[in-house]
Amino acid sequence: MVSLFSAKNKSSRIPNLYVFFGPFLPHADLLDMPLPTILSPFLALIRSPTSTAPITSAALASLHSFFTCGLVSPSSSDLRIALSDLSNTLSHCKFDAGGGSADEAVIFRIMAVIHECICGPVGHLLGDIEVCEMLESVLTTCCQVRLGGQCPPPPRIPPKFFY
Give helix 101-119 / helix 128-146 axis angle, nearest 10°: 150
Residue ranges covered by each domain of the chain = 32-151
What's this model's pTM, rounded to 2 decimal places?
0.71
Beta bridge partners of 52: 96
Residues of the chain with pLDDT under 50: 1-14, 17, 157, 160-163
pLDDT digits (tens, 9 = 90+) for 107-130: 889 999 999 999 999 999 999 999
